[in-house]
């Protein structure tokens, strides 16, 4: 028996992680954009804990044996973001100054910005997800710092764009793999 006969093939966890991120981001962004009020937040929290947090953490752990440092870092980090967001809303919302929340969002934007830089040789669809996301974080941070509702709403709309892009990439990875051809284009990665 050769090594090729015993080689284990790991499933691609990226569609799961992207879908968990996209769905939770969409729900929160509808509130941020002003489509729904705070009464909708409980559904966001449930999703943040179960899908945005837990499913992304599972995807991140699944990236480890595949040797995908980027995927593991991204999915585990954004899983932690959703868990920390849920804990903040549940227990700390009225106990943390808005300017400090702005720093929280800004620093997530910094993390997302350097993760975006790491996508420059990845498919264009992944680049767009991270581009839209760091813009979202910076708009929301600026909204917290300035108190300008328009920046918060703009961050909500940028989050909706981010969610659509992440859903698209998740769908493309599942559909393209199942069809064994490119049905939904993701944009060819740059050559080395």
As a whole-number percent, the residues of the chain with pLDDT over 90 amount to 89
Q: Supply the angle between the helices 124-146 and 149-179 in degrees, to the nearest 10.
A: 160
2 belongs to a structural domain:
no
Instruction: Decide if pLDDT at 163 tops 80.
Output: yes
CA gap 162, 170 in Å, rounded: 12
Domain-embedded: residue 74: yes
Confirm whether 4 is domain-assigned. Answer: no
In a domain, 190, yes or no: no
**Tally of CB atoms within 10 A around 90:** 13
Assigned domain for 66 exists: yes
- Tally of domains in the chain: 1
Q: Residue 186 domain-assigned?
A: no
Band the pLDDT of 188: cuts 50, 70, 90.
confident
Residue 192 has pLDDT above 90, yes or no: no
Per-residue pLDDT tens digits for 22-73: 999 999 999 999 999 999 999 999 999 999 999 999 999 999 999 999 999 9
Domain assignment present for residue 159? The answer is: yes
User: What pLDDT, in 10s, does the model give residues 73-109?
Assistant: 999 999 999 999 999 999 998 999 999 999 999 999 9
What pLDDT sits at residue 3? Answer: 58
Domain encompassing residue 56:
13-179
Continuous segment of H or E residues that includes residue 34:
none
**How many whole angstroms separate alpha carbon 28 and alpha carbon 162?**
12
Q: What is the pLDDT of residue 39?
A: 96
Residue 37 lies in a domain: yes
Cα 154 to the center of its chain, rounded Å: 18
Cα 140 from Cα 121, distance rounded (Å): 28
């Amino acid at each position: 028996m050769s090594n090729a006969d015993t080689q284990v093939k790991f499933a691609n966890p990226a569609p799961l992680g992207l879908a968990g991120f996209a769905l939770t981001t969409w729900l929160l962004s509808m509130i941020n954009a002003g489509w729904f009020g705070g009464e909708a937040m409980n559904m966001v929290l449930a999703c943040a804990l179960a899908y945005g947090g837990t499913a992304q953490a599972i995807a991140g752990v699944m990236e480890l044996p595949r040797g995908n440092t980027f995927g593991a870092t991204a999915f585990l980090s954004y899983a932690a973001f959703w868990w920390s967001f849920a804990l903040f809303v549940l227990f700390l919302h009225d106990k943390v100054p808005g300017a400090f929340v702005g720093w929280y969002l800004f620093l997530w934007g910094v993390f997302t910005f350097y993760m975006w830089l790491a996508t420059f040789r990845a498919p264009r669809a992944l680049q767009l997800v991270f581009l839209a996301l760091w813009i979202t974080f910076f708009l929301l941070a600026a909204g917290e710092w300035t108190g300008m509702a328009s920046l918060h709403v703009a961050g909500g709309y940028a989050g909706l764009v981010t969610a659509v892009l992440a859903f698209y990439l998740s769908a493309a990875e599942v559909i393209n793999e199942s069809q064994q051809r490119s049905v939904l284009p993701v944009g060819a990665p740059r050559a080395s």
